[in-house]
Structure formats: C-alpha cells, structure tokens
C-alpha cells in the first residue's frame, strides 16, 4: 500500500506536468492556425465582401460530372482498403474508461509488488534516467496459464498511472498481403510513441505475443530442413522468411521508442544542409528527441517459444510469471468475488471459506469468477436472488465434469454402476488417508456413467511412492468390486486401467520405482516423436515391471474389498436409493455400514457403457486426483 500511495502522489507529477505542457502547446498551435483565418474573415466582413465565394459550374457540367464521380468512387474503392489494411489494429482506452485498479488485483502476492515497482519507475522516469543515471524498463513479459490475470493487471497499471492503454491482439497484425504485417506493427508503435508524447506516457499491451514472436530458424535443433532432408526433399531458405521478417520488425520497433518526430527530422535536415556551409564552431546544433515514456507489456502462456532476442536487456528484459493462485491467494480471491456478488451470508463463515479455497485447487482467478457466476445462475433459475454453498458445489460439478444427464439404466446395469463406483469410494476411503471424498454419483455426465470426485486434504505439489500406489489401487477399486460381486468385469474399467497404467508407467520410467533406476525421459523422441508410455511399454523388461505393479495392487485391492464387503454394499445401496452422495453424506453411509448385513447379488449383469478412446497421447501426469470413472 505504501508503494501505491507513492504512485498516486509525487510520481504522478511527471505525467500530469507533461500533459499540461502539451495542452498549452496544442492551444498555441491552434491559435497560430485559427488566427490568420479569423483575421481574413474579419477583413472580408469589414470590406463588405463575400466570405467564401461559391464556384460556378459550366453549362455542360451535367455531362461530365457523373463520369468524374464514378472514377472518383472507383479510386476510393481501390485505395481505401489498402490504406485501412495497413493501419494499426489496436484499441485505445483512456484512464477514465478503465474500471479496475490495484485494489481490484487479488491473489498475486509478490508479483503485484514487482508490478507496482515497475510502474513507479515508469512514472518517475525523468528522475530515474536523468538524475540517477538509470535506464527505465521498457518491456515486461507476463507469462502464465490462461485466466491468471495478465490482462487484468495491465489494465490496472494504466488506470493507476493515468495514461492511455493501447490493447492489441497479436493475431490481428497478421495479414494475407505480403509486407502488411510489418506495416501494421510499425503503425502500432508509431501510435504508441505519438500517444506517449501527447499524454506523458502510454502502456502498450500485446496479447498472445507468441503469435508474432516465435523463434526464428524453423523447429530448433531438429529443424524443418533436417526433417525435409530425412524425407528426401529439398528446402528453400525462404520457408521461414515470413516468421523471421515479423520478428525482425518487432525487434527493430522495440528499439524505436526514442525516434525523433517528423518536425525534428525536418528541422535537423534543414540544419544539416545549412551546416555544410558553416564552420565547425558555428554549426547549428541538432535537436535531440525527448525520450518517450512507454511501457510495453507482452502476454503469453508459451514463453519458451519466443525468440531469445526478444528477451534480452532493452526489450522484454523482465519476465513476471503468473501462476495459478495458492490456497491463501484463492481465499483472498473468493472473499473479493463474494463481496461483489449476491450470496447467502453463511458463505462468509471461516469454515466455508476454508472449504471453498481448499476444493478449488488449480482454479485461476477467471475460473473462480466463472464458478460463482454459474452458481448465481443456478440460484436465479430456482427463483432465488442469492447463491448458497450447494449452488457452488453444483456449479463446480457442472463446470468440471458437465451437466447431469439422467439416463434410464436397466436394473442390472444400474446395480453394476453403483457397485463399481462404491468400490472406488471404499478403496479411496481406506487407502487415501490424505484424500477427501467429495462426490459419489451414478448420474451420467458427459461420457461418465458414474464418478467419484476426491481431492487432497492439503495442497501439495509432490507425491510419495505410497500415494502413487494408493492412486493405482483407487483406480482398481471399481474393477475389483465388479469381480467380487458379479464374478466378472465388463467395459466399465477401461478408463480406470488406463489411469492406473499411466501412474505405473511414470513410476517405472521416470521415478525409479520399478526394477531399474534408468529414466526413459533421457531418450529423445526421434523423427516421429514419442512419449514415455511408448518408451516404457516398448521395452520388454519395463513392460513386465509395469504389469507386475498393476497385478500386485489389484491383488491388494481384492483382499481389501473382500474384507470390507459391507462398506461396498452400504454405498451401493445408498447410490441406488439417492443416486448421488456429497461430502459428509458419503462418510455417514460408511460409518453406519453394518458388517452383518449381506445383500444377494444378481446372477447376470450386462454392462452397456461405451468403450472409451484408449489412444495414449502425451506423457503420463502424476495424479492430483484420480479414481473417477470417466
């Protein structure tokens, strides 16, 4: 807050003083232009002459005027599109048009402090460069996943600085006409310099800068030329000329912030011609342009794909990473959004706020706001003007998994799905000590006929070997439950087996938790690429290690569920009755399960669930949740 107060105080004098000087200069220029015109008008009035004599047309004007207008219209149609196509595609927002400030920026932590410091130097650039001898920061790169607040922070910076904000999407620079992309980039930077000189400063924002700033030279080490050579084809050096030309233009323009104005260029040109005839001691001194107070902000979620020259000092020499908010940051964001949306007062309780912040791990600020908007829509649909905690939970289900699609299952299929999901839940309850059961359902959502949603009780970023094994066992719970109760399993466990295999592959190929400490990540993908699953399962010994891990954990789950059959039966019966259990309802059923109660299982069950797509693409991720049948 101290930095914010300073920004709004003394450091605003540079920008305000610059604006006042330029306002007075514009008034003087206007007076110089309008003065002679006003004097001429008064002279015409005092001498009783017509102010503006109207021209007279010849008698045959009706014959040639239509043709002249036609040719003029054709010329306009041909020339105007060319002129418009080369204009800068930016949208300018004045400070009074921007509604967000630093008070509306939440959940950024130290990143916000660095942003405020950058803005402080931007506003006090004269002192920083003139008195202290520093070089003001001209470019800042905001890097992070979508929805983490990059555009939001840039708008807040322009609002706090009191300078215009020039927003442009990098894809709008691209044009089908050769050379027009570079022309649009030049036009944008020209508008940025002009605005900065007029208003004492300007902030330019390039959204998705990776669209025009990707690395030059093809595909890196394994370039397009090597690929073409491997395929027996010839390549042309001009293949990457388009990308390289755009990046080159962007690099040049980022060095043009202090380019002299047209007036200074004309004055220096005339002075240079005169200096040819003057002795060295009496030559006219060339005028230097005033530094333009410009801050250029680029935003991307693929910083690694940018050309290295863009990241050197003098360009985007400061990279700020916008990550998904932590638990405490989410708590701050949730309080901010709740204060601006109609909600039930019970949501302001400490326990409820802690629950919401814990259950939204991985949510960005944008996705949190969307979650509350969806909850508000649900409440309005039911005739209420404030949303409640059940509305938030329901909205979270719809956002993450999809809308509920009630389906008429056969009796046998409904029993199978309930048993399958109950098996997942019982294993998660028994082996997932650090996990919280959130939703257990047999209501169809998207391609999932049933699901178990569970999350870690604590926000963690690593997994132990025990937790990895537990995630495999949770995935096996549905398949084993079907085998115990019906003597066989069907197509339902296909997704579970894929999830379990993914974890086992990572254990063997990356983490050294199999029979070997060799990491398959050291192998290059080759011409056609390849992920770790291809590498591990393509090796006979490693494939056997993966199979052994899966078999051992399946046997462990079989013993576990056989000893706790009553828990599966209790959850199955509850699902058949209520179709969906949430949070404490799951634990109430488990705690109230009677080990003596036995329910006879039907003899034949047909599982009609569709086969999922089992193609494997990309490396297997470490599980942060898991066990749900999707």
Q: Do 293 and 196 meet the contact criterion of CB atoms below 8 Å apart?
A: yes
Please write the tens of the pLDDT for every residue from 57-77.
Answer: 777 777 788 888 888 888 888
pLDDT value at residue 58: 77
Q: Which of 306-310, 415-419, 531-535 has the highest mean pLDDT?
A: 415-419
User: Mean per-residue pLDDT for 4-23?
Assistant: 58
Contacts of 401-404 with CB under 8 Å at 24 or more apart are 401/445, 401/446, 401/448, 401/451, 401/453, 401/630, 402/445, 402/446, 402/448, 403/445, 404/443, 404/444, 404/445
pLDDT band at 555 (very low <50, low <70, confident <90, very high): very high
pLDDT at 356 over 70: yes
Least confident of 55-69, 197-211, 423-437: 55-69
pLDDT at 260 over 60: yes
Average pLDDT, whole number, for the chain?
Answer: 80
Cβ atoms < 10 Å from Cβ of 156? 24
Question: In the predicted model, is pLDDT for residue 434 greater than 80?
Answer: no
Q: What interhelical angle do 327-338 and 365-381 show, nearest 10?
A: 40
142: β partners: 299, 320
Percentage of residues of the chain with pLDDT beyond 90: 19
Average pLDDT over residues 589-613: 49
pLDDT value at residue 133: 67
pLDDT at 338: 92
Most confident of 209-223, 256-270, 410-424: 410-424
Give the pLDDT of residue 406: 77
Give this prediction's pTM.
0.72
Q: What is the 3-state secondary structure (H, E, C) of 617-629?
A: CCCCCCCCCCCCC
- Of 7-16, 158-167, 547-556, least confident by mean pLDDT is 7-16
- 23: tokens are 């306002």
Which among 574, 576, 563, 278 has a CA at the least distance from the CA of 411? 576
Distance CA 302, CA 208 (A): 9
Are 129 and 285 contacting, i.e. CB atoms less than 8 angstroms apart? no
Count how many Cα atoms sit within 13 Å of the Cα of residue 373 in the half-sphere of its side chain: 7
For residue 1, what pLDDT is reported?
44
Domains defined for the chain, CATH in brackets: 1-48+90-217+245-260+288-323 (3.40.50.300), 327-400 (1.10.8.60), 411-591 (1.20.58.760)
pLDDT of 504: 93
pLDDT at 604 over 50: no
Distance CA 500, CA 507 (A): 11
Q: Which of 18-27, 40-49, 533-542 has the highest mean pLDDT?
A: 533-542
What pLDDT score does 623 carry? 37
The pLDDT confidence band at residue 7, using thresholds 50, 70 and 90, is very low
**Is pLDDT at 222 greater than 50 in this prediction?**
no
On the question of pLDDT at 579 being above 60, the answer is yes
pLDDT higher than 50, residue 377: yes
User: What are the residues whose beta carbons fall under 8 Å from the beta carbon of 510, sequence distance 6 or more?
Assistant: 519, 520, 521, 532
**Structure-block tokens of residue 462:** 């690593």
Q: What are the tokens at 309?
A: 């020259």
Lowest mean pLDDT across 1-10, 363-372, 409-418, 474-483: 1-10
């Amino acid at each position: 807050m101290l930095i914010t107060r300073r920004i709004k105080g003394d450091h605003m004098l540079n920008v305000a003083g610059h604006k006042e000087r330029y306002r007075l200069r514009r008034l003087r220029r206007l007076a110089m232009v309008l003065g002679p015109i006003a004097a001429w008008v008064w002279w015409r009035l005092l001498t009783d002459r017509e102010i503006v004599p109207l021209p007279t047309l010849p008698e045959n004007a009706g014959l040639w005027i239509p043709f002249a207008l036609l040719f003029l219209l054709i010329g306009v149609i041909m020339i105007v599109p060319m002129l418009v196509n080369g204009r800068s595609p930016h949208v300018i927002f004045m400070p009074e048009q921007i509604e967000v400030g630093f008070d509306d920026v939440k959940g950024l932590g130290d990143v916000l402090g660095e942003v405020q410091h950058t803005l402080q130097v931007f506003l006090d650039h004269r002192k920083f460069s003139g008195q202290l001898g520093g070089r003001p920061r001209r470019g800042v790169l905001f890097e992070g996943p979508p929805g983490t607040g990059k555009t939001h922070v840039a708008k807040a910076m322009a609002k706090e600085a009191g300078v215009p904000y020039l927003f442009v999407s990098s894809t709008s620079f691209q044009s089908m006409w050769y050379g027009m992309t570079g022309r649009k980039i030049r036009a944008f930077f020209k508008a940025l310099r002009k605005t900065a000189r007029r208003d004492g400063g300007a902030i330019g924002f390039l959204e998705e800068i990776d669209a025009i700033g990707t690395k030059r030279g093809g595909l890196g080490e394994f370039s397009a030329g090597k690929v073409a050579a491997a395929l027996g084809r010839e390549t042309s050096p001009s293949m990457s000329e388009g990308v390289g030309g755009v990046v080159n233009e962007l690099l040049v323009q980022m060095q043009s912030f202090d380019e002299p104005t047209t007036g200074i260029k004309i004055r220096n040109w005339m002075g240079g011609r005169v200096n040819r005839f003057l002795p060295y001691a009496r030559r006219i001194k060339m005028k230097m342009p005033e530094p333009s107070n410009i801050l250029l902000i680029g935003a991307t979620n693929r910083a690694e794909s940018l050309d290295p020259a863009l990241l050197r000092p003098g360009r985007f020499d400061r990279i700020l990473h916008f990550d998904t908010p932590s638990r405490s940051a989410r708590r701050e964001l949730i309080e901010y959004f709740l204060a601006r949306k109609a909600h039930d007062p019970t949501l302001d309780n400490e326990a409820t706020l802690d629950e919401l912040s814990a259950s939204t791990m991985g949510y960005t600020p944008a996705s949190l706001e969307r979650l509350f908007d969806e909850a508000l829509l649900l409440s309005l649909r039911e005739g209420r003007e404030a949303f409640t905690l059940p509305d938030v939970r329901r909205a979270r289900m719809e956002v993450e998994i999809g809308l509920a699609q009630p389906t008429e299952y056969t009796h046998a299929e409904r029993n199978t799905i309930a048993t399958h999901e109950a098996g997942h839940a019982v294993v998660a309850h028994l082996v997932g000590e650090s996990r919280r059961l959130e939703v257990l359902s047999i209501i169809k959502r998207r391609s999932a006929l049933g699901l178990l949603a569970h999350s870690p009780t604590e926000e963690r970023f690593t997994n132990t070997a025990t937790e990895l094994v537990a995630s495999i066992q949770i995935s096996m719970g549905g398949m084993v439950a079907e085998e115990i109760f019906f003597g066989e399993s069907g197509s339902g466990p296909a997704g579970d087996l894929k999830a379990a295999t993914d974890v086992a592959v990572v254990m063997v190929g990356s983490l050294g938790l199999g029979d070997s400490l060799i990491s398959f990540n050291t192998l290059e993908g080759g011409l056609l690429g390849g992920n770790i699953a291809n590498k591990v399962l393509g090796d006979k010994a490693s494939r056997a290690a993966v199979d052994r891990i899966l078999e051992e954990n399946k046997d462990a789950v079989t013993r576990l569920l056989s000893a706790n059959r009553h828990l599966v039966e209790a959850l199955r019966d509850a699902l058949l009755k209520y179709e969906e259990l949430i949070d404490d309802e799951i634990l109430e059923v488990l705690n109230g399960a009677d080990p003596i109660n036995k329910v006879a299982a039907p003899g034949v069950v047909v599982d009609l669930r569709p086969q999922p797509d089992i193609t494997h693409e990309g490396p297997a991720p470490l599980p942060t949740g898991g066990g749900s049948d999707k």
